Structure 1
């Protein structure tokens, strides 16, 4: 799974819309949608902002993105569980 899958799962878990997250990040909804579908790459600065929204540690996620690795479903689950109790959304 790529980073877009994580973004979508985190957002879905919190019941937030793409528009709500885009507004928090001060980007167009279409831009955020492209991040979720991996049509465009999310830069590390934006990933940090997203991680902050969900109360996540960006270190592992950032390494995966910088290396352009596909991460496992277990990693997604771990991110979601960490985010569940810390989300600002």
Structure 2
């Protein structure tokens, strides 16, 4: 999946076009979202707002210009969020 060319400051959007966050950087096979961009509607249900969140690149449907489009709808994004990297 590393051929996706996901870069810092790209917008991450759900399958239905809702803003999920902004890429901080890639952390292995996961996208680390900017901490300051973790309180949007798509992840409002996440119990750890205000922390860095991670999404697996396996959820990426594609990269379109400066946007990373996920394969999950905004209503389901919070189910796939991880708070920290695994040791």
Taking structure 2 as the reference length, the TM-score comes to: 0.32
More helix as a share of residues: 1
Point out which structure has higher relative CO (alpha carbons under 8 A, 6+ apart).
1
